[in-house]
């Protein structure tokens, strides 16, 4: 019985990693679409969304069945609750990718001009946060999870800088408003991807340590 | 033992409703700050945030303790999981209020001009969605929860219209860029409040029916 339960936990983890792969792929594709302005990649992102949503429901159902049938205690209970939360965050990362893809599609109608925002760099930082938070989840690695929390400020600062630079550009060159507004919203979407990675990292710490670090980015304080 | 468990569920529900009250108050205050441009109200919103975050952690801990100690089944298990999710959504509603308050504070530096967006109306629709979703939670009322899902499209359309009107204004009157950008972001924040209300309504349906309606707004389809 116990072995079967452990196998179910492993299955749940494996399924969540597939979910993570889909969410990361969606973000990467949406940024590739931004860089190349290739709207066919936007369509790929939009087409993949139903699979992500379907997998989210499957994982929640697996977690719920495990809670109902196995009535796990302590660390196993925290693990399953963490999976439920991480699952929701990954689905929302997928939503951000869809938002970005729709913005890129809208930008296709306007000239591809140089904008004072390094979206690829912001995207690569936000993606690194997601990747590290999931690596921390795979390894149960609290230190790695804490390193993700530190990166979030960097993403926030880049997003703030993008906002300032783009609103200045809009004032000076109002004809570039559509492109600038879309880039501004894409930067915010990436900032939100960083927020979701932060949530995932906090869930890893909660699972391993039993401490709830939310809103206490310094870390180990239990509630 | 069973009576004690029922009492604990009632306590959990009561605590969540206090959380809901704080989140709703935060949104209402942030909109009052927008209407009056009174930055002292912005400060009230920012000051209230730590209490909301603290209460979120307390509720999660109560839910976790109940899951660990009582090992509830079926509808009680779904109730507790719904509380965990609704709790997270309410905390994020509070975050949106903080975002709005910070935008209003920034707008204080610029002339208070007429903008082509009815923020109070959008706010009142988004708040109504939150209120109805919580009413549905109190009553376990699936029909009321479903009425919330229908309102979400309306909020999305209002937000899209605000985006179009404000980006046109920016192009025509670039000197109004700061005010217009801030209003555009406030409209998006309110649209996200509507999304959280939608999540809450879906959780109510999940709790009562055992059906997961996420990404199936039509309703009753089980997974």
* DSSP state string for A12-52: HHHHHHHHHHHHHHHHHHHHHHHHHT-HHHHHHHHHHHHHH
Q: What sign for the dihedral angle of Cα A204, A207, A211, A215?
A: positive
On whether any CB of chain B is under 8 Å from the CB of A177, the answer is yes
Task: With beta carbons under 8 A apart, name residues in chain B contacting A223.
Answer: 57-58, 61
With 0-12 / 13-18 / 19 or more C-beta atoms within 10 angstroms meaning exposed / middle / buried, residue A68 is: middle
On whether any CB of chain A is under 8 Å from the CB of B58, the answer is yes
pLDDT of B69 > 90? The answer is no
pLDDT of A74 > 90? The answer is no
Decide if A220 is inside a domain.
no
pLDDT of B221 > 80? The answer is no
pLDDT of B70 > 90? The answer is no
Q: Residue B18: which residues within 8 A CB-CB, separation 6 or more?
A: B55
pLDDT of B36 > 70? The answer is yes
pLDDT of A172 > 60? The answer is yes
Decide if B214 is inside a domain.
no
Place of tokens 């995932």: A200
Can you give the pLDDT at residue B223?
28
DSSP state at residue A115: -
User: Among B27-31, B120-124, B216-220, which stretch is predicted with the lowest mean pLDDT?
Assistant: B216-220
pLDDT of A52 > 50? The answer is yes
pLDDT of A108 > 80? The answer is yes
Beta strands in A40-140 (DSSP E): none
d(CA A96, CA A24): 11
Rama region for B210: left / alpha / beta (φ>0; ψ in -120 to 50; rest): left
Range of the domain at A42: 2-209
Task: Average the pLDDT over B63-71 and give the result.
Answer: 86
Residue contact A57–B88, C-beta within 8 A:
no
Task: With beta carbons under 8 A apart, name residues in chain A contacting B71.
Answer: 71
d(CA A141, CA A150): 15
Q: What sign for the dihedral angle of Cα A114, A115, A121, A124?
A: negative
On whether any CB of chain B is under 8 Å from the CB of A70, the answer is no
ipTM field = 0.76
With 0-12 / 13-18 / 19 or more C-beta atoms within 10 angstroms meaning exposed / middle / buried, residue B115 is: buried
| Cα B160 from chain centre | 19
Q: What tokens does B91 get?
A: 């905390």
d(CA B147, CA B198): 10
Decide if A112 is inside a domain.
yes
With 0-12 / 13-18 / 19 or more C-beta atoms within 10 angstroms meaning exposed / middle / buried, residue B3 is: exposed
Decide if B221 is inside a domain.
no
Decide if A218 is inside a domain.
no
Distances (CA, A) of B152 to B132, B149, B193, B198, B217: 12, 5, 10, 7, 10
- B-proximal residues of A, 100-159, CB under 8 Å: none
On whether any CB of chain A is under 8 Å from the CB of B218, the answer is no
Q: Nearest chain B Cα to A171, which residue?
A: B174
Residue contact B81–A61, C-beta within 8 A:
no
Decide if B40 is inside a domain.
yes
On whether any CB of chain A is under 8 Å from the CB of B178, the answer is yes
pLDDT of B189 > 90? The answer is yes
Nearest to A60 among B178, B188, B212 (CB): B212
Can you give the pLDDT at residue A216?
55
Can you give the pLDDT at residue B75?
84
- Count each helix (H run) and each strand (E run) in chain A, helices first: 6, 0
Task: Average the pLDDT over A168-183 and give the result.
Answer: 92
Task: Average the pLDDT over B185-197 and give the result.
Answer: 95
Residue A199 sits in a domain of what CATH number? Answer: 1.20.58.220
Where is pLDDT greater, at A70 or B132?
B132
**Contact criterion met (CB below 8 Å) for B131 and B93:** no
Q: What tokens does A94 get?
A: 């997928």
d(CA B72, CA B15): 19
Can you give the pLDDT at residue B216?
55
Q: How many other C-beta atoms are found inside a 10 Å radius of the C-beta of residue B164? A: 11
pLDDT of B118 > 60? The answer is yes
Decide if B9 is inside a domain.
yes
Q: What tokens does B93 get?
A: 């509603």
Decide if B62 is inside a domain.
yes
**pLDDT tens for each residue of A146-162:** 999 999 999 999 999 99
Backbone φ and ψ for A212, nearest 5 degrees, come out as -100, 105
Task: Average the pLDDT over B191-211 and give the result.
Answer: 91
Total domains, chain A: 1
Where do runs of H (alpha helix) occur along A173-223? 177-209
Residue contact A53–B214, C-beta within 8 A:
yes
CB environment B74-85: b (16+ within 10 A), e (fewer): eebbbbbbbbbb
- Count each helix (H run) and each strand (E run) in chain B, helices first: 6, 0
Task: Average the pLDDT over B111-121 and give the result.
Answer: 93
Can you give the pLDDT at residue B214?
66
**pLDDT tens for each residue of B135-162:** 999 999 999 999 999 999 999 999 999 9
């Amino acid at each position: 019985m116990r072995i079967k339960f452990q196998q179910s936990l492993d299955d749940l983890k494996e399924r969540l990693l597939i979910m993570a792969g889909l969410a990361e792929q969606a973000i990467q594709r949406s940024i590739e679409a931004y860089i190349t302005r290739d709207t066919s990649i936007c369509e790929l992102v939009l087409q993949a969304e139903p699979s992500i949503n379907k997998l989210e429901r499957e994982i929640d159902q697996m977690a719920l069945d495990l809670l109902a049938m196995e009535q796990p205690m302590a660390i196993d209970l925290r693990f399953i609750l963490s999976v439920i939360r991480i699952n929701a965050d990954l689905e929302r990362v997928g939503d951000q990718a869809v938002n970005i893809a729709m913005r890129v599609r809208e930008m296709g109608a306007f000239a591809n001009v140089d904008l004072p925002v390094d979206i690829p760099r912001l995207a690569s930082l936000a993606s690194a946060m997601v990747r590290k938070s999931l690596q921390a989840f795979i390894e149960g690695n609290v230190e790695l999870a804490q390193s993700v929390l530190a990166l979030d400020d960097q993403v926030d600062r880049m997003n703030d800088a993008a906002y300032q630079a783009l609103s200045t550009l809009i004032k000076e060159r109002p004809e570039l408003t559509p492109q600038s507004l879309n880039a501004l919203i894409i930067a915010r979407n990436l900032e939100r991807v960083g927020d979701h990675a932060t949530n995932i990292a906090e869930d890893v710490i909660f699972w391993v340590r039993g401490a709830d670090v939310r809103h206490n980015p310094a870390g180990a304080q239990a509630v």
